[in-house]
């Protein structure tokens, strides 16, 4: 603590990366980092750039990354062999065929929503639920969002983040159903992402064809995630051809 | 609003100037923690006002520590505001004017739409493996050495790949003709609303 940082040390210790990823704790010297940043225009710019990069990469930090995490080079041969055996034994099944493409290691980021003119009780419940969501307490978020919906909060954001929470809880069936309700609401700001994450949920259930249909619907739209939907659709199609 | 009105009688012009130079960084720190530009502005004002008062009482022994001193105050202010925000209060017990409301996100408050669009276009032009690498850095918050442990690729090579990729994104982020790091001003309220360029 109380170390005077330089930009070089910030870079060497990946402090901007940790800061935007919310993994920079006091133990990692968050206070020293903030003391440096408030007086350093260069690092301020780096944070803004990092936030822009993160915002675009977070929804896509899926698929192959999780698969790679399962097989780091440091694993012993015996462990690697046993994992390979499990993978091979399941390869013929439909559910595991798409698991890696359906992975969502980072939850959709909550960007805040406008409350309607006259807030209802559900809006305060939504606020509490989204605090839990931001804290990655997806069980609490899921329960809170269900309560907020029952109390009359705006359904599009609440349903969307309920779907996201269910996805993070590894409940793809419930997530797909919830995202389906968001899609059924029509042209909301959540439509594109709801299709994208419903596709993820469907992939986790082993339903590549239905996922592809959702991805094509997003890919042809002007959604912020259409580029990523096209990339994921390519991966799904490529796997279907194998 | 500047500090001048508050500080003119108790704090030297040099100190006020030094504090004002910290304003953009404080704003960034506050927006990251509080999520909205308005709440951040309130936090920055409160921080600077408290800093002026503390400096008037000679509470800072070493002037070189001013940024750390002010950042410490900012952390307290932000934590106080977060506590107040998440205190459980029934909406029915509050007047409508006091109901919590949400605002556009922190990202929008800190990064212009056109800066994001340029970064997005540059990201798409990177190879998939470079995008994956940046994901490990900025989504998972890993350092090159940690990525090296995970992937087996030499840390130095990871560092170079990341540096090359970030150079391209940085160039796109700043746009043609804009000097790097020359201005760290955050988007103005008007620019945030329109997605336009900074003045």
Residue of A nearest to B26 (CA): A38
With contact defined as beta carbons under 8 Å apart, do A19 and A33 qualify?
yes
* Residue after which a domain boundary falls, among B30, B63, B91: B91
Q: Helices A155-168 and A191-204: crossing angle, nearest 10°? A: 30
Residues of A in contact with B108 (CB under 8 A): 111
Q: Are residues B79 and B115 in the same domain?
A: no
Q: How many CA atoms lie within 13 A of A84 on its CB side?
A: 8
Q: Are residues B131 and B186 in the same domain?
A: yes
Six token digits for residue A167: 């996805």
| Class of residue B91 by CB neighbours under 10 A (exposed 0-12, middle 13-18, buried 19+) | middle
Q: Are residues B131 and B61 in the same domain?
A: no
| Class of residue B22 by CB neighbours under 10 A (exposed 0-12, middle 13-18, buried 19+) | buried
Q: Are residues B130 and B183 in the same domain?
A: yes
More confident residue, B135 or A66: B135
Q: Are residues B55 and B132 in the same domain?
A: no
pLDDT of B112 > 50? The answer is yes
Mean pLDDT of chain A: 77
Of A111-115, B62-66, B193-197, highest mean pLDDT = B62-66
Q: Are residues B10 and B69 in the same domain?
A: yes
Six token digits for residue A94: 């439909």
B183 domain residue, yes or no: yes
The boundaries of the domain holding residue B156 are: 111-194
Q: Does the CB of A38 have a partner CB in chain B at under 8 Å?
A: yes
CB within 8 Å: A58 and B139: yes
B182 domain residue, yes or no: yes
pLDDT in tens, A91-150: 434 456 677 788 876 677 765 554 445 556 667 788 888 888 888 889 999 999 998 888
- Choosing among B102, B113, B122, which should be mutated to test the A contact, i.e. which has the most A CBs within 10 A? B102
B97 domain residue, yes or no: no
Domains and CATH numbers, chain A: 7-60 (no CATH), 65-93 (no CATH), 121-241 (1.25.40.10)
pLDDT in tens, B22-54: 999 999 999 888 877 888 899 999 999 999 988
- Region of poorest pLDDT, from A52-56, A99-103, B182-186: B182-186
Q: Are residues B119 and B50 in the same domain?
A: no
Residue of B nearest to A73 (CA): B152
Q: Which H or E run contains B196?
A: none
B16 domain residue, yes or no: yes
Residues of chain A with pLDDT > 70, as a percent, come to 75
- 3-class DSSP assignment, residue A242: coil
Count of domains forming chain B = 2
Q: How far apart are CA B142 and CA A189, in angstroms?
A: 31
Average pLDDT over residues B178-186: 45
pLDDT in tens, A3-53: 788 999 999 999 999 998 888 877 778 889 999 999 999 999 999 999 999
Q: How far apart are CA A32 and CA A49, in angstroms?
A: 21
**Angle, alpha carbons A30-B133-A199 (nearest 5°):** 105
Q: CATH no. for residue B167?
A: 1.10.10.10
pLDDT of B157 > 60? The answer is yes
Q: Does the CB of A151 have a partner CB in chain B at under 8 Å?
A: no
pLDDT of A76 > 60? The answer is no
Q: Are residues B138 and B60 in the same domain?
A: no
**pLDDT for the residue B47:** 94
- 3-class DSSP assignment, residue A215: helix
With contact defined as beta carbons under 8 Å apart, do A31 and A1 qualify?
yes
Q: Does the CB of A152 have a partner CB in chain B at under 8 Å?
A: no
Q: Are residues B118 and B182 in the same domain?
A: yes
More confident residue, A61 or B126: B126
With contact defined as beta carbons under 8 Å apart, do B139 and A58 qualify?
yes
More confident residue, A63 or A175: A175
B99 domain residue, yes or no: no
B135 domain residue, yes or no: yes
B59 domain residue, yes or no: yes
Average pLDDT over residues B57-74: 89
Q: Are residues B119 and B183 in the same domain?
A: yes
B80 domain residue, yes or no: yes
């Amino acid at each position: 603590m109380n170390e005077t940082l330089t930009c070089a040390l910030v870079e060497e210790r990946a402090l901007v990366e940790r800061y935007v990823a919310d993994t920079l704790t006091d133990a990692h010297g968050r206070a020293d980092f903030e003391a440096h940043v408030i007086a350093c225009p260069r690092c301020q710019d780096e944070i803004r750039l990092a936030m822009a990069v993160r915002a675009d990469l977070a929804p896509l930090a899926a698929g192959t990354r999780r698969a790679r995490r399962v097989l780091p080079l440091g694993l012993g041969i015996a462990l690697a062999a046993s994992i390979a055996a499990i993978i091979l034994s399941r390869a013929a099944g439909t559910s595991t065929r798409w698991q890696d493409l359906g992975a969502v290691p980072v939850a959709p980021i909550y960007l805040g929503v406008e409350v309607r003119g006259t807030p209802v009780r559900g809006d305060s419940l939504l606020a509490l639920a989204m605090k839990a969501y931001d804290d990655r307490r997806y069980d609490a978020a899921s329960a809170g969002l269900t309560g907020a919906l029952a109390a009359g909060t705006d359904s599009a954001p609440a349903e969307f983040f309920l779907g996201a929470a269910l996805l993070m809880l590894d409940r793809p069936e419930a997530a797909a159903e919830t995202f389906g309700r968001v899609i059924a609401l029509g042209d909301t700001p959540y439509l594109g992402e709801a299709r994208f994450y419903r596709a993820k949920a469907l992939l986790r259930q082993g339903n590549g064809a239905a996922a592809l249909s959702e991805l094509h619907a997003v890919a042809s739209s002007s959604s912020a995630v259409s580029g990523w939907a096209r990339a994921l659709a390519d991966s799904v199609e490529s796997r279907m051809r194998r | 609003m500047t500090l001048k009105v508050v500080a003119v009688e108790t704090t030297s012009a040099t100190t006020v100037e030094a504090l004002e130079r910290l304003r953009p960084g404080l704003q960034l720190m506050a927006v990251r923690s509080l999520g909205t530009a308005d709440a951040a502005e309130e936090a920055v004002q409160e921080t600077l006002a408290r800093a002026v008062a503390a400096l008037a009482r000679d509470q800072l022994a070493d002037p070189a520590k001013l940024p750390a001193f002010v950042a410490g105050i900012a952390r307290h202010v932000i934590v106080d505001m977060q506590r107040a925000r998440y205190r459980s209060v029934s909406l029915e017990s509050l007047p409508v004017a006091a109901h919590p409301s949400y605002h556009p996100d922190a990202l929008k408050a800190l990064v212009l739409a056109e800066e994001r669009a340029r970064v997005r276009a540059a990201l798409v032009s990177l190879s998939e493996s470079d995008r994956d690498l940046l994901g490990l850095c900025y989504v998972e918050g890993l350092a090159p050495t940690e990525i090296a442990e995970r992937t087996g690729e030499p840390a130095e090579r990871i560092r170079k790949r990341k540096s090359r990729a970030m150079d391209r994104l940085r160039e796109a982020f700043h746009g043609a003709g804009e000097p790097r790091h020359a201005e760290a001003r955050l988007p103005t309220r008007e620019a945030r609303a329109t997605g336009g360029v900074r003045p």
